[in-house]
Amino acid sequence: MEGLHGKPVRHLMKIWLDGTLSDIGALPISSMAHALHYGTGVFEGIRSYSAGPTECFVFRLKDHVTRLLRSADTLGLTLSFSLNALQMAVLDVLAVNALKDAYIRPLVFVGEGAMGLDIHSGPINRIHTLIAAWEWRSYFGIDGRGLSVKVGEWKRCFPKSGLNETKASGFYIDSFLAHLDAKRTGFDDAIMLDDNGSVAEATAANVFVVHDGRLLTPRTESALPGITRDTVIAIARELGVVVEEGEVCVEQMLEADEVFLTGTACEVAAVTKVNEAIVGTGHVGSLTETIAKSYQRIVRNRLPLRVRQDTNQWWTPTRVMARREFDSGIKYT
Ligand code: PMP
């Protein structure tokens, strides 16, 4: 099995499925799982960070699991695990795989049963919950250089309000195609537009634009309200930077002093080229760099945020230990 950029996912050894930890090759998942055919699943992307030899934290674990449960609820999927049990399960996956700096992928999906779209009046489809984790250092794999993005024709339109808050597997076909088109034409990623032709978000990240020292970001009607976006807004306010959430048009992006993307996987990633236009000086901008550095300290619980009162639950200590010593004994229901 390979991870991103062709590198093997060496640590992806044990996966948590419905309360049991199994070797990746021994998972009892049917090829007739509904989600495989229709994309009926919801997922999360979470990161853990080591903060020195003895400390390791999962960043904003509760917020991610809460969003997972909300996404599942939007699709009418009922899980047999509580918010607390899922948080414990994440810690178990990290421990059993001896992972510290990890990317964690919970996935709730519709299993085998009815094969049509109606899963409520025929055979029962089991709702599965899976948690995997692996080392995934750099999402874009670009080693510190700025990203080039293509503002293509791809739109991020949610036909029903509230759906933008759902991380549903099926939504990612648009992102996949927009990203594919960007890569095929020599860019690192694509910017997707909203219904009015304004900037919505990147294929798996939110977008920020710097103009005259102010930070602009699109509202979230046509974008996922990213947890990193929220963290970055808090960091910027802490730095005394004015943050405006509103319409961001393509011209503002082309003429911006700085542009960056935010997401759990890509963290804070500078954009130095939009279509054929060079952004600012063509190098990582100073505000982007300051925010990216602060972000790296915050995720490791090294920088208190004074302006926000609700951050005390952002860091969940892990109990990573050697795999052979692992025996959680935890009951998940
Ligand atoms: N938009 C999309 C479409 C995404 O997939 C992601 C990644 N989850 C984001 C934005 C950023 O969200 P977060 O900061 O919560 O990871």
Q: What is the mean pLDDT of residues 104-128?
A: 93
pLDDT of residue 138: 76
45 lines ligand 1 (CB under 6 A): yes
Whether the pLDDT of residue 332 is over 90: the answer is no
pLDDT tier for residue 2 given thresholds of 50, 70 and 90: very low
Per-residue pLDDT band for 324 (boundaries 50, 70, 90) equals very low
CA of 328 to the centre of ligand 1 (A): 31
**Which residues touch 123 (CB under 8 Å, ≥6 apart)?**
113, 114
- Over the stretch 153-188, which tens digit does the pLDDT of each residue have? 899 988 788 899 999 999 999 999 999 999 999 999
Locate the ligand 1 atom nearest the alpha carbon of residue 230 and give its number: 14
Report the catalytic residues: 167
pLDDT digits (tens, 9 = 90+) for 38-57: 999 999 999 999 998 889 99
Does 125 score more than 90 pLDDT? yes
Residue located nearest, by CA, to atom 3 of ligand 1: 204
Residues 236-248, buried b or exposed e (16+ Cβ, 10 A)? Answer: bbbeebebeeeeb
CB-count exposure of residue 99 (10 Å: 0-12, 13-18, 19+): buried
Q: Which residue has the higher pLDDT, 310 or 237?
A: 237
The CB of 206 under 6 Å from ligand 1? The reply is yes
Q: Which atom number of ligand 1 is nearest to the Cα of residue 231?
A: 14
Q: Which pLDDT belongs to residue 137?
A: 79
Place of tokens 């990573």: 320
Instruction: Categorize the per-residue pLDDT at 123 as very low, low, confident or very high, splitting at 50, 70 and 90.
Output: confident
Give me ligand 1 centre to Cα 114, in Å: 31
* CB of 263 sitting under 6 A from ligand 1: yes
Counting Cβ atoms within 10 Å, is residue 193 exposed (0-12), middle (13-18) or buried (19+)?
buried
Average pLDDT in the chain? 90
